[in-house]
Structure 1
Amino acid sequence: MLLDYPFAYKNERAKQYIDYAIFIDTPLDVAMARRIIRNMSNKNVDLLKDDLNYYLSKGRVAYLEMIKTIKPNSDFIIDGNLSTHDIVSKIIKKIKVLGE
């Protein structure tokens, strides 16, 4: 089972069920640009401003904390600058190797 979960081994209740943690190391500016493109393409400018203000006041802190605490405790780190196709390919390749 694959789980898209940002806290990996840091969640005491979930870590016993995790066999392998993968961290996609995406620079904050790239992550934000991708998020805007994905979530805001049909939204008005005021909603975009609200989302960016929330990111600056609270969201960015969470991203920085993940870099500090989750990334070093992950089993495999992937360059988040890669294309989605390349990221998925690397994850599939890694899972196949683990299953052998």
Structure 2
Amino acid sequence: MELSSSRYRDLEVLLTEHLNYIVLDFLFAYKHSKFSKFINFAVFIDTPMDIVLARRVTRDFKNSSVENILYDMKNYIFQGRRGYLEMLKTIKPNSDIIDVGTLPVSEIVSIISENVG
């Protein structure tokens, strides 16, 4: 898990600013050796994989061929699912808050906001 140099520099620049919060969407949270020192609060949004997959297909493959969609589904079977299961085992238990990803976005934001600060 390598954080790209440019992303790392971008984060370092943000840290020099006097900001109250920096919100990052990053899969590995505290488990990323180079990145974890910058994290004060990790949220795991626990969304069932069937919903994640359905959202991704409807969002990312609107104009794709059936072949592209099938290729991606095969990739999910052999790699994506394994990664998701690993996150449930390692990232979820090490998060500060676990949120239910089936809730409406406004409710998720509200729950996270109540727990930050």
In the alignment, the residues of structure 2 paired with residue 72 and residue 35 of structure 1 have an alpha-carbon distance, to the nearest angstrom, of 24
- Pairwise CA RMSD: 1.1
Q: Which structure has the bigger radius of gyration?
A: 2
Confirm whether residue 87 of structure 1 aligns to residue 103 of structure 2.
no
Confirm whether residue 42 of structure 1 aligns to residue 60 of structure 2.
no
Q: Which amino acid aligns with 1:78?
A: D
> Could you list the runs of 4 or more consecutive aligned residues of structure 1 that deviate by over 6 angstroms after TM superposition?
none
Task: Tell me the TM-score normalised to structure 2 length.
Answer: 0.77
May I ask how many residue pairs the two structures share in their alignment?
96
The corresponding residue for 2:31 is 10
Between 70-79 and 9-18, the greater mean CA deviation after superposition: 9-18
- Please list the CA deviations of residues 26-69 of structure 1 after superposition, one character each: whole Å capped at 9, or x if unmatched: 11111111111111122111111011010001111000000000
C-alpha displacement of 1:90: 2.2
Unmatched 5+ residue regions in structure 1? none
Unmatched 5+ residue regions in structure 2? 1-21
* Percent pairwise identity: 45
Task: Tell me the TM-score normalised to structure 1 length.
Answer: 0.89
Q: Which amino acid aligns with 2:101?
A: G
Q: Which amino acid aligns with 2:71?
A: D
Tell me the SS of whatever aligns to 2:98. strand
